Amino acid sequence: MTTRYKMTLAYDGHLFHGFQSQPGQRTVQGTIEAALTKMTKGKVVLVEGSGRTDAGVHALGQVIHFDYPGAKIPPERMLFALNSIMPLDIAFRQSEIVDESFHVRYNAKGKWYRYRVSLDHFVDPFKRFYSGHYPYPVDLVKMQIAARDLVGTHDFTSFTASGGQIKNKVRTMYYVNVKKDDTANELIFDFICSGFLYNMVRILVAMLLEIGNGKRPRDDIPRVIAACDREQVRETAQASGLFLYHVFYGEIPQKYRQDLE
């Protein structure tokens, strides 16, 4: 008898070697699995994540599920129990018991990633682990106009690190937004997509910054998409600016469906 828990969590990725368990490395998945194994006094509990995040990448709304053996624990007590034994760079936010047909990866309808870029010449010491860095002039409106060319259903082969095992690289981009936080002197990029390929957000941000800086024409995106060639965008923005912001399990809300506009 096991009980399936779906839990939402935040983590500061800068001291983790990514989400996925790896022998000898401190990872988010490995840390949670070790905590659960402690709670069950040795029974191994496997954690499934909605997706992996790389070393240095953060989460505000990562989602996991796991099957807890033995007596059913109320979800709010599971939340409290796990938070009590987590290191301070992981915090669970929500907990619910779900049917065993629920799968955190297969049931996800889309994901929201946010990327923050500091435009300061020298990055604020308090942001060095929590932003990318682009100390060059950028034209916000140019990036905003160009970003709309990403919306829709496309083959995103040009925007993923080569060598991945996933063959089908067609995804639907529902929403892209670029804004400036003037107080922080940061750009904030938001992407909601049916699924993200390896390094996709970081490559997209690097390309949009090149457009903003005038190194690449404003109307270059349709050409790059059509090329299906990673060599078209050689840069990848730093891991430190990337946050897994939210995972959608219901339909994507209408206000984020730019592809239907």
For a copy of itself, the binding residues (CB under 8 A) are 10-12, 58, 83, 86, 88-92, 121-126, 128, 130
73 vs 91 by CB, closer to a copy of itself: 91
156 vs 243 by CB, closer to a copy of itself: 243
Contacts of 71 (CB under 8 A, 6+ apart): none
85 vs 170 by CB, closer to a copy of itself: 85
Contacts of 55 (CB under 8 A, 6+ apart): 13, 16, 17, 18, 239
82 vs 150 by CB, closer to a copy of itself: 82
> CB of 128: closest distance to a copy of itself in angstroms?
4
Rounded distance, CA 55 to CA 135, Å? 23
Contacts of 187 (CB under 8 A, 6+ apart): 116, 117, 119, 134, 138, 140, 143, 178, 179, 180, 181
Whether 225 contacts 148, CB under 8 Å: no
> CB of 97: closest distance to a copy of itself in angstroms?
20
Q: Which of 12, 54, 89, 259 is catalytic?
A: 54
Active site residue 124: no
Q: Which tokens in the block code for residue 177?
A: 């937004």
> CB of 146: closest distance to a copy of itself in angstroms?
30
> CB of 82: closest distance to a copy of itself in angstroms?
10
128 vs 234 by CB, closer to a copy of itself: 128
Is 68 annotated as belonging to a binding site? Answer: no
Contacts of 79 (CB under 8 A, 6+ apart): 7, 92, 94, 95
> CB of 88: closest distance to a copy of itself in angstroms?
4
Whether 236 contacts 203, CB under 8 Å: yes
Question: Alpha helix (H) ranges present in the chain?
Answer: 28-39, 75-85, 140-147, 200-212, 221-227
Closest CA to 130 of 116, 119, 144, 147: 116
Whether 191 contacts 176, CB under 8 Å: yes
Catalytic residues: 54
Residue list for the binding site for substrate? 113
Which residues are annotated as part of the binding site? Answer: 113
